[in-house]
Homo-oligomer: A and B are copies of this chain.
Amino acid sequence: MSETPPVPDTRNTAPPAPRRRVNRRDQILRTAAEVFATQGFHNTSLADIAAMLDITPAGVLHHFGSKTGLLTAVLELRDDTEPAPEGGPMLDHLVTTAERNSERPGTTQLYAVLSAESATENHPAQDWFRDRYTILRRDIEGAVLDRLDPEHRGAAGAPGPDGRSAAGAAAAAVIAVMDGLQVQWLLDPEAVDMAEVTGLVIDALVARLSQEG
């Protein structure tokens, strides 16, 4: 998963090559992520990516087999600098993430645009995002329960007749807020503060689940 492949030992005293680009594949990956983010997947051509690297579209395809293969590789390339904590602190981490997202429009746009685009027929990233949401909901549901007083934990965690718990609904809500805010923010950065609103919703939901239903 590391982005840092082994560097050949040149055993010279010359200053180390300034973080030389390792191989073409990684270079293409970064460029593709950037262009998919700003243009979406379907609206991006292999020629767009190839042009930025001064090669032909087929040069790109060589490394990934198909345009879909390239997309899959881009999605796998998560740049989580810090690992997400477990349990209650995870909710604070989400606010921090929202704050960080405000400072990296590229990555924010990549996932905001692609997640919605994946909800179209036969989109190659559909399974990837469906699985991602399933895992996120489960983890955040746990984090919400962790934040509640033990006395409320039972009711909030108990699945209803539809198999979904109140904490699960809150988890879906938190993810949805973060996603929805990204679109609003990308269209109009001055209009919303993603971190502030995310924090507000988390606080409100935790407080709500700490009351009698």
Contacts and interface: CB of A to CB of B under 8 A. Distances in A.
Interface in A113-127: 113, 115-121, 126
A170 B197 CA distance: 7
A183 interface: yes
Contacts of A192: 164, 169, 172
A68 interface: no
Copy count, this protein chain: 2
Contacts of A166: 200
Interface of A: 38-40, 42-43, 109, 112-113, 115-121, 126, 129-130, 133-134, 137, 162, 164, 166, 169-170, 172-173, 175-181, 183-184, 186-188, 191-193, 196-197, 200-201, 203-205, 207-208, 211
B201 A173 contact: yes
B176 A197 contact: yes
A208 B200 contact: yes
A169 to B, nearest CB: 5
A135 B115 CA distance: 25
Nearest to A115: B183
Nearest to A112: B116
Given A109-B120, A134-B188, 11 more contacts: A113-B120, A116-B117, A130-B188, A133-B191, A164-B193, A169-B192, A173-B177, A176-B176, A176-B197, A177-B180, A207-B208
